[in-house]
Amino acid sequence: MAVYTEVSDAELEGFVAEYDIGAVVSCKGIAEGVENTNYLLQTETGNFILTLYERRVDPAELPFFIGLMEHLAKRGLRCPTPLHGRDGQSLRQLCGRPAAIISFLQGLWPRQVTAKHCAALGRAMAEMHLKGLDFSQSRANTLSVAAWRPLFEQTRARADEVKPGLADTLGRQLDALEAGWPRQLPSGIIHADLFPDNVFFKGDQVSGLIDFYFACTDFLAYDIAICLNAWCFEPDGSFNVTKARLMLINYQQVRPLAEGEFAALPMLARGAAMRFLLTRLYDWLNTPAGAFVKRKDPLEYDRKLRFHATVDSPAAYGLDVDSLPVGGR
């Protein structure tokens, strides 16, 4: 559930009156998502998303996220666009929370991911990376390799409650990641949370990318690694190399991978699995009973981490270096 803050009719009407979008017709809470409060807002002029940014989002970082969405939308990426009120501002206060009204995107996120979804995702992700290269702002990835050791230390003592031996496994994997993490790869703005529920489709085509509130500056190929984890494993835990190959081929048709990026994919995918394992593990151990947030199984990413740790060549993801465009080698 993602309605943490209830908005009264009077507060809502006063807030919407700051915009030139007509009077409120209806406003319904959206159950999906875990970070912020979201409402589907219908006014006399159409549908919008009303977002109240909750305590897990640093208000000081909101201008970055809002600015990024505006930048990408202006360059033609299909993503939510923050609306500006009559005063020119897109961020304001509602019920003691920072809040914004965002454009509504049509489409549905895929409950069952197909190879065609992965192909379309590859193209859309590459377009996003290219369109973000000239964004003037930057934000460090606060959940990259430097953050994993502190997260591990906060969960080490109780990790074996989730799975016997998990703490030892995490410690060994973390040692390997810290020693082998790439140092110099092409960087830029990445989404960093491009899971299926953040990608809308109409049929087999991407109709929009949403939820940029983990976006940051990092290796572009790390976004690909996150998607290999989020899109290319089947419910039984097996890795679908066809989905991975189509994602990578279609990404490269828009933005060719450099040879160094391609070689780094196994380590980056291993790191992405560690990142989501640790944050899920932390939430699993620290979310109180009865909380609004639904805990996600950290062991899903334990299985993915162990798979990537066995990969000794990026060819395991469906491509080999000979498939790279000449300019990318």
261-287 per-position pLDDT tens digit? 999 999 999 999 999 999 999 999 997
* Cα–Cα nearest to 275, from 149, 139, 129: 149
20: in domain: yes
Q: Provide the token pair at 110.
A: 């895929």
Same domain, 176 and 66: no
Question: Please, what sign has the CA dihedral across residues 207, 212, 218, 224?
Answer: negative
Q: How many Cβ atoms sit within 10 Å of the Cβ of residue 176?
A: 14
pLDDT surpassing 60 at residue 145: yes
Could you tell me if 264 and 151 lie in one domain?
yes
- Hey, what are 2's tokens? 């993602």
**Cβ within 8 Å of residue 79, ≥6 positions away:** 69, 72, 73, 105, 128, 208, 209, 210, 212
**Are 70 and 140 contained in the same domain?**
no
Range of the domain at 217: 115-328
Query: Residue 135 maps to which CATH number?
Result: 3.90.1200.10
1, 31 Cβ separation under 8 angstroms:
yes
Considering 103, 127, 150, which residue would you say is the last residue of a domain?
A: 103
CATH code of the domain containing 52: 3.30.200.20
| Confidence check: pLDDT of 321 > 90 | no
In which residue are the tokens 């162990």 written?
306
Where does a domain end: 74, 103, 132?
103
What is the DSSP annotation of 12-29? HHHHHTTSSS--EEEEEE
Cβ atoms 173, 159 nearer than 8 A? no
Residues 52 and 85 in one domain: yes
Q: Is residue 188 part of a domain?
A: yes
Of 60, 79, 103, at which residue does a domain stop? 103
Same domain flag for 32 and 158: no
Give the tens place of pLDDT for each residue, 56-104: 778 899 999 999 999 999 999 999 999 999 999 999 999 999 999 999 9
Distance between CA atoms of 180 and 270, rounded to whole angstroms? Answer: 11
Give the span between the Cα atoms of 98 and 36, in whole angstroms.
Answer: 10
Count of the separate structural domains present in the chain = 2
Are residues 142 and 218 part of one domain?
Answer: yes
CA dist 144 → 10, 182, 301, 305 (Å):
42, 12, 16, 15
Enter the pTM of the model.
Answer: 0.92
Is there a single domain that holds both residue 145 and residue 267? yes
